[in-house]
């Protein structure tokens, strides 16, 4: 595990990696892609410069296809299936 040995034993690193993987997999693929894209685009900007473009990208997730369905389900207390699963 090379570099990660600085952070703990192989077992500790693997346990933390599995926790992170579990946290990521509950997110929709669209949300992960938008987050990665905005991270790349906004890299190096100050917080105040990055805030509004980041908010626009987040808002765009709620206005198309799956996003609208998920927002509606959340408001109604229902669960919605995900096409990326």
Flag whether 81 is in a domain.
Answer: no
Flag whether 64 is in a domain.
Answer: yes
Residue written as token pair 């206005």: 63
Q: What is the distance between the alpha carbons of residues 29 and 67, in angstroms, rounded to a whole number?
A: 11
| Span 22-55, pLDDT tens digits | 988 887 777 788 888 888 888 898 888 888 888 8
Flag whether 82 is in a domain.
Answer: no
- Going by C-beta distance under 8 Å and a sequence separation of 6 or more, which residues neighbour residue 49? 42
Number of structural domains found in the chain = 1
Instruction: State what percent of residues in the chain have pLDDT above 90.
Output: 4
Range of the domain at 55: 2-75
- The answer to whether the predicted template modeling score (pTM) of the entire model surpasses 0.75 is no
Kindly list the distances between the CA atom of residue 49 and the CA atoms of 31, 33, 43, 62, 74, in Å, as whole numbers in the listed order.
Answer: 21, 21, 10, 22, 30
Burial of 18 (0-12, 13-18, 19+ CB in 10 A): exposed
Mean pLDDT of 59-67: 72
């Amino acid at each position: 595990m090379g570099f990660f040995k600085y952070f703990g034993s192989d077992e500790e690193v693997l346990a933390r990696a599995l926790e992170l993987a579990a946290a990521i997999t509950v997110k929709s693929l669209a949300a992960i892609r938008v987050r990665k894209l905005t991270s790349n685009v906004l890299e190096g900007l100050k917080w105040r410069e990055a805030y509004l473009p980041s908010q626009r990208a987040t808002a765009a997730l709620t206005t198309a296809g799956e996003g609208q369905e998920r927002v509606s389900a959340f408001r109604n207390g229902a669960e919605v299936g995900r096409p990326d699963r």
